[in-house]
């Protein structure tokens, strides 16, 4: 619950409180986004524990600040920080497969883990598709919704997309790695050559 409140409630409340006192939506968004980013970094330093969603939020916040600087203060650009991160990662996964170097396999080898029996290629494609869909959904919401509405529903919807995608990924891995023996192709039996039958003919 504290993490949920930090990432969902505090940015929205912070934006609502700050907006009347700052010059633009972008500045209010940037200041409100400091809270979950600082929380995630503090937890990482104190407990030495990685939080994937929190790490994604920190990366998105950093990208938001970069886009804020590049665009000269666009509120839409600030909202696009997180989807830009997941979109780039998703495209990188999808492009790595036809190049013959699936990112999922590279990550497993870099961390000293064995490559999945299911195959790094299909898993990389699925991960890339999940991240790309997440980015597309958030970009659509950022463009069509107001800043307040986006803060209220953007991140929960994004997490829901990732949750459904991860569930589908685990379902695929379980199904692909548990192929029943009866469904495997059996080699054809070799019928012994009977000389007697040949002699009869």
| Same domain, residue pair 70 and 87 | no
Range of the domain at 122: 80-177
Q: Name the CA dihedral angle for 167, 171, 172, 176, rounded to a multiple of 10 degrees.
A: 160
Residue 195 belongs to some domain of the structure: no
Q: Of 78, 93, 128, which one is at a domain's C-terminal end?
A: 78
pLDDT at 62: 82
Q: Which residues contact 194 (CB under 8 A, 6 or more apart)?
A: none
When comparing pLDDT for 150 and 56, which is higher?
A: 150
Task: Based on the fold, state whether residues 41 and 67 are members of the same structural domain.
Answer: yes
Higher pLDDT, 35 or 92: 92
User: What does the pLDDT read at residue 189?
Assistant: 53
Q: State the average pLDDT for the chain.
A: 77
Please tell me whether residues 9 and 41 are part of one structural domain: yes
> In this structure, is residue 22 part of a structural domain?
yes
Please tell me the distance from the alpha carbon of residue 27 to that of residue 19, in angstroms, as a whole number: 8
71 and 3 belong to one structural domain? yes
Q: In this structure, are 45 and 104 located in the same domain?
A: no
- On whether both 90 and 128 belong to a single domain, the answer is yes
Q: What is the pLDDT of residues 64-91, one digit of tens each?
A: 888 878 877 777 888 888 898 899 999 9
CA 47 to CA 59: how far, in whole Å? Answer: 19
Return the pLDDT at 179.
54
pLDDT for 15 = 75
Residue 182, domain member (yes or no):
no
163 neighbors 132 (Cβ within 8 angstroms): no
List the end-to-end C-alpha distance of the chain, in Å, as a whole number. Answer: 84
For 179, left (φ over 0), alpha (ψ -120 to 50), or beta? Answer: beta
Tell me the pLDDT tens digit for each residue of 95-150: 998 988 888 877 777 666 666 556 788 888 999 999 999 999 999 999 999 888 88
Last residue of a domain, one of 50, 78, 106: 78
- Please give the Cα distance from 153 to 164 (Å, whole number): 17
pLDDT in tens, 93-109: 999 989 888 888 777 77
Q: Is the pLDDT of residue 187 over 70?
A: no
53 & 88 share domain: no
Do the domain assignments include residue 43? yes
What's the structural domain count of the chain?
2
- Which of 80, 54, 57 shows the shortest CA–CA distance to 67? 80
Domain finish residue from 27, 54, 78 = 78
């Amino acid at each position: 619950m504290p993490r949920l409140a930090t990432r969902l409630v505090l940015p929205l409340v912070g934006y609502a409180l700050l907006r009347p006192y700052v010059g633009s939506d972008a500045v209010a968004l940037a200041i409100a986004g400091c809270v979950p980013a600082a929380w995630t970094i503090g937890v990482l330093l104190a407990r030495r524990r990685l939080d994937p969603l929190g790490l994604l939020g920190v990366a998105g916040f950093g990208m938001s600040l970069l886009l804020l600087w590049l665009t000269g203060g666009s509120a839409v650009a600030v909202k696009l920080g997180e989807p830009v991160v997941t979109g780039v990662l998703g495209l990188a996964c999808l492009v790595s497969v036809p190049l013959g170097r699936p990112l999922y396999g590279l990550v497993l080898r870099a961390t000293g883990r064995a490559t999945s029996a299911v195959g790094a290629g299909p898993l990389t494609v699925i991960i890339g598709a999940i991240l790309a869909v997440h980015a597309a959904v958030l970009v659509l919401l950022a463009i069509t919704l107001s800043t307040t509405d986006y803060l209220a529903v953007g991140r929960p919807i994004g997490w829901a997309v990732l949750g459904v995608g991860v569930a589908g990924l685990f379902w695929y891995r379980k199904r692909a790695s548990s192929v029943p023996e009866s469904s495997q192709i059996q080699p054809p039996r070799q019928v012994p050559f009977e000389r007697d039958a040949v002699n009869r003919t």
